[in-house]
Amino acid sequence: MAGRNRAVTLLFSAVIALALSGCNVVRLTINTPLTPQSVAFITEGRTTLADVIDTLGAPDSMTDAEAGTLVTYRFLDAKYSRVNFGWLLKPWSPVDPDLVFSRSGLGTDAFDLLCDNNWVVTHHAFVRHRPAPPFTPYPF
Amino acid sequence: MRRVSALLVLMLLTLNACAFSRGTLGDEIKTDTVNSIKKGVTTRSEVLALLGAPDRLLQLNGRDLFQYYRYDAKVGSLLLIVLNFSRVSVKSDDLFVIINREGTVEEVIASKRTEGLEFRFWPFGD
């Protein structure tokens, strides 16, 4: 009986392993992603660049703009997942078959601040909304 | 006990490999060096002697902006036979030195984000 249970467990493990065959889950994070909540302390016309640096650290770039200085924080949170269903046929196929579904979301996000000549923040905005893609390899 | 043994055997059978990779770009920006730069005292040539030529040189309303940066990337991978988890974490250290028209340091902006950078495998959650 114990031997049978062991065999069933082994078979179940093998089936699970085959069902998950060729799966990859990858995540790439560049710097600490900023959210609207993490920059909520900024008040245009009052908050200085020094206040922002105290909270968020040094920016990634500073460039000259007509109305002052443009300060940019860049960050990225990308997810990638991939399933190779070809692995299911490997035990029975003489060749190495592949049927790959994969999906990823890329795009560096940024948070921009415009400071006047006294280093007071006059405008601030996210360049684009950070997507929060789930790990779903289905590309269609 | 049997369950633990079975779990260990299963892990040994499925755990194919682990991988640790690391990549850096640029020289380390030492905190002591940054602290030695004094606003209104340190000159442009002293900054260059301390830190070398900047990675980027910009004009900011008639002032010079020296930017120094360093990137650190750590990759952790847990490679099971049929399922792989990887996580790539990249952070940067940035130093901005603003030099006024008189040639002395007006502002120093620095932060070390790489200090808390860790090897991570698990791609889910924060």
> Domain residues for B106?
18-116
- Between B61, B81, B92, which is nearest A17 by CB? B81
Closest chain B residue to the Cα of A69, Cα to Cα: B60
> Mutate which of B2, B74, B77, B92 to test chain A, going by most A C-beta atoms within 10 A?
B92
In a domain, B7, yes or no: no
SS3 track for B72-98:
EEEEEEEEECCEEEEEEEEEEEEEEEE
pLDDT of A103: 84
Distance CA B82, CA B119 (A): 22
Find chain A residues with C-beta within 8 A of B96's C-beta: 58-59, 62
How distant is the alpha carbon of residue A125 from its chain centre?
20
Are A105 and A132 a contacting pair, CB within 8 Å?
Answer: no
Burial of A45 (0-12, 13-18, 19+ CB in 10 A): exposed
Q: What is the pLDDT of residues B11-29, one digit of tens each?
A: 666 666 788 999 999 889 9
ipTM of this predicted structure? 0.75
Kindly state whether A79 is in contact with chain B, defined as any CB-CB distance less than 8 angstroms.
yes
User: Domain tally for chain B?
Assistant: 1
- For chain A, what are the domain ranges? 23-126
pLDDT of A24: 86
The Cα angle at residue A55 between residues A53 and A57, in degrees rounded to 5: 45
In a domain, B12, yes or no: no
In a domain, B3, yes or no: no
- Between B83, B95, B123, which is nearest A20 by CB? B83
A91 φ/ψ angles, rounded to the nearest 5 degrees: -65, -25
From A3, A13, A49, select the one nearest B106 (Cα to Cα).
A49
Q: Between A8 and A111, whose confidence is greater?
A: A111
Confidence band of B82 (pLDDT split at 50, 70, 90): confident
In a domain, B126, yes or no: no
Confidence band of A18 (pLDDT split at 50, 70, 90): very low
Rounded to the nearest integer, the mean pLDDT of chain A is 81
Confidence band of A15 (pLDDT split at 50, 70, 90): very low
User: B99: which strand partners?
Assistant: B64, B105
Whether this model's pTM surpasses 0.80: no
